[in-house]
Amino acid sequence: MSLPVTGSTSPEAVAAHEGAHGDAHGEHAHPSYLTDGTTIKSWLLTVDHKRIGVMFLFFVLLFFLVGGIYALLVRIELLTPGPTIMDAMAYNRAFTLHGVVMVFLFMIPAIPAVFGNFMLPLMVGAKDVAFPRLNLLSLYIFLTGASLAIWGMLHGGADTGWTFYTPYSTQTTTTLAPILFGVFITGFSSIVTGLNFIVTVHTMRAPGITWFKLPLFVWAIYATSIIQVLATPVIGLLLLLVIGENVFNFGMFDPARGGDPVLFQHLFWFYSHPAVYIMVLPTFGVMSEIVSAFSRKNIFGYRAVAYSSIGIAFVGFFAWGHHMFVSGQSTFDGAIFSVLSMLVGVFTAIKVFNWVGTVYRGAVDFKTPFAYFCGFIYFTVFGGMTGIAVATMSLDVSWHDTYFVVAHFHFIMVGGTVMGFLAALHYWFPKMFGKTYHDGWGLVSAALIILGFNFTFIPQFLLGNSGMPRRYYEYPARFQALHVASTAGATVLALGLVIVAIYLIHSLVAGKRAAANPWNSKGYEWMTASPPPTHNFVGPQPVYPEEPHFYVDPKKAEAPDAV
């Protein structure tokens, strides 16, 4: 079997060139983005998409840690049927903080703002995003909103849950307004980032990179950006209305004054259902890159995977009512929303079949990113099937607001976003920081995370199915065994994450230098040095392969099966 080398500037050639360069005079001639300016100011005022991505990475990891600590507190509280370490109010605050931080400060920015920022310009052969200064602004908008939200949580906190449902959110005496306003502000960051990516993909593609030569990660980020730009304003407006109601007593959601509390749910889910695709579509993109790189095979069904991202983005806008089967919407509406929700499952299944088709007869290189790919496929299929189940109106009437739903969305969000985030981190770490990490520890921790995750959430499906409601801090003693199992699982999951932190930090400090293309990937972002120079490419424009993910030329393959 031979892998075709297309053009003179193949990744291997670049690697060789940069290697020779680095030894002789490369550092001085073309400093990497990490060493081009070492003052704090050079970071804080940078307009380099790569530095902005790295700063986002730092903060997103910080918020992941904060959200994670609160998750563990929630799990510890649920170890016993009665009060364990906190009272009811503290518990309500803990799960609210956990949800708000995880959704708005971790999952939404996690992949687009970090890896989208860093990789998308490299993958379209551009020097930067279309609006670099706006890109920096989006970081500061995010930090402003996040600081305000965190401030609110430290000064009183909220007890509404991350969904802020009316009428309770208009009456709670906790400090809700700054948190709502903080989340409102972070929304602008999301919109600006999305706009920037859309314009970048439209206008900054290097000569030769046509739409169907775009790597699938770019397609996924593009689809995500459309949702970010179209849906985020809706929740922004809604949060302002709730602040108005909560602080100034508008009456918008109060039936006594002609308002309607259910209006909140419509507007909330009109954003928040599409937002679940802001959280998972980027992962779908990451996995498309990883599956072909580590199976050493061209992606199976490139166009189907690309179009299904757009399909999910579109249909995702018409499924919000599946959160409201028991909120007083008509049976007819419920039935329509049921069917539309299942359509999303169809698009997702198309992707799953194509990913599995890519692995089929591939020469699998079982490295850490591929381990996360396997976890992701399993979680997405399992979580997606339970999604179809909860989208069935007759079933959801009894599962709604139970632990079954909690388990469903964690399967999707941890299985989707967290697997994707960790996979992306392990795949692109050498490119971003120019260092390698210990793959053995990578595999061990991936195994712990995937196993721990199952032990955390499978008991929750069982709990929900036998009637355990969500957001309760006390429960009948018969539920205890499953709660203890869930907390034990969360501990294993946390241990896996701690190991990841240890070996990655160790690698940053003392890791070996990474080659330009340590995985022998055909992704365009590997056609430059690791870490890349400030303006991404040095010398002549790379020659892009005939198609993205081009591992084997079907025309030149020795035999049809030699894949």
Nearest approach, Cβ of residue 523 and Cu ion (Å): 32
Tokens 């009665």 appear where?
A: 82
The C-alpha atoms of residue 21 and residue 107 are separated, in whole angstroms, by 39
Question: What's the one-letter identity of residue 375?
Answer: G
Our finding on whether 464 is near ligand HEM (CB under 6 A) is no
Q: How far is the CB of 355 from Cu ion (least distance, A)?
A: 23
Considering only 30, 49, 75, 273, the residue that binds Cu ion (CB under 5 A) is 273
98 binds Cu ion (CB under 5 A): no
- 396: partner contacted, choices Cu ion, ligand HEM, none (Cβ within 5-8 A by kind): ligand HEM
Number of residues that bind ligand HEM (CB under 6 A): 24
Q: Which does 290 bind (CB under 5 to 8 A by kind): Cu ion, ligand HEM, none?
A: none
Nearer Cβ to ligand HEM, position 413 or 422? 413
User: What does residue 92 show for φ and ψ, rounded to 5 degrees?
Assistant: -60, -40
Q: Which two tokens stand for residue 373?
A: 């790919």
Residue 124 touches which member of ligand HEM, Cu ion, none, C-beta under 5-8 Å by kind = none
Applying CB under 5 A, does 408 fall inside the site for Cu ion? no
Distance CA 274, CA 228 (A): 9
- Name the residue nearer to ligand HEM (CB basis): 113 or 413: 413
Secondary structure (3-state) at 319: coil
In DSSP terms, 513 is beta-bridged to 435
- Strand-pairing partners, residue 402, are 469
Nearer to ligand HEM, 379 or 429 (CB): 379
Residue nearest to Cu ion (CB): 273
CA distances from 44 to 52, 109, 112, 127, 187 (A): 9, 19, 20, 19, 21
Q: Residue with structure tokens 């959801």? A: 396
Instruction: Give the residue with the Cβ less far from ligand HEM, 408 or 483.
Output: 408
State which residue, 272 or 445, has the beta carbon closest to Cu ion. Answer: 272
| Residue number, 81 or 345, with CB nearest to Cu ion | 345
Of residues 286, 413, 424, 563, which one binds ligand HEM by CB under 6 A?
Answer: 413
Do 204 and 99 meet the contact criterion of CB atoms below 8 Å apart?
no
391 belongs to the binding site for ligand HEM (CB under 6 A): yes
Residue 414 interaction partner, one of Cu ion, ligand HEM, none, beta carbon < 5-8 Å per kind: none
Alpha-carbon torsion 209, 282, 153, 167, what sign? positive
397 by Cβ neighbours in 10 Å (0-12 / 13-18 / 19+) ranks as exposed
| CA–CA distance, 492 with 450 (Å, rounded to integer) | 9
Give the whole-angstrom CA distance, residue 225 versus residue 203.
Answer: 15
Distance of CA 262 to the CA centre of its chain: 29
The binding track of 316-345 with respect to ligand HEM, each residue x by CB under 6 A or -, is ------xx-----------------x--xx
Helix count and strand count (H, E) for the chain: 20, 0
Question: Is residue 485 within the footprint of ligand HEM (CB under 6 A)?
Answer: no
Q: Which ranges constitute the DSSP H helices of 249-301?
A: 261-295
* 312 lines the binding site for ligand HEM (CB under 6 A): no
Q: What is the DSSP letter of 130?
A: S
According to the binding rule CB under 6 A, does residue 109 interact with ligand HEM? no
Is residue 191 part of the contact set for ligand HEM (CB under 6 A)? no
Q: Which does 549 bind (CB under 5 to 8 A by kind): ligand HEM, Cu ion, none?
A: none
Selection from Cu ion, ligand HEM, none that 391 binds (CB < 5 to 8 A by kind) is: ligand HEM
Provide the binding-site residues for ligand HEM, judged by CB under 6 A. Answer: 163, 276, 279-280, 322-323, 341, 344-345, 348, 384, 387-388, 390-391, 396, 399-400, 405, 408-409, 412-413, 416
Provide the binding-site residues for Cu ion, judged by CB under 5 A. Answer: 273
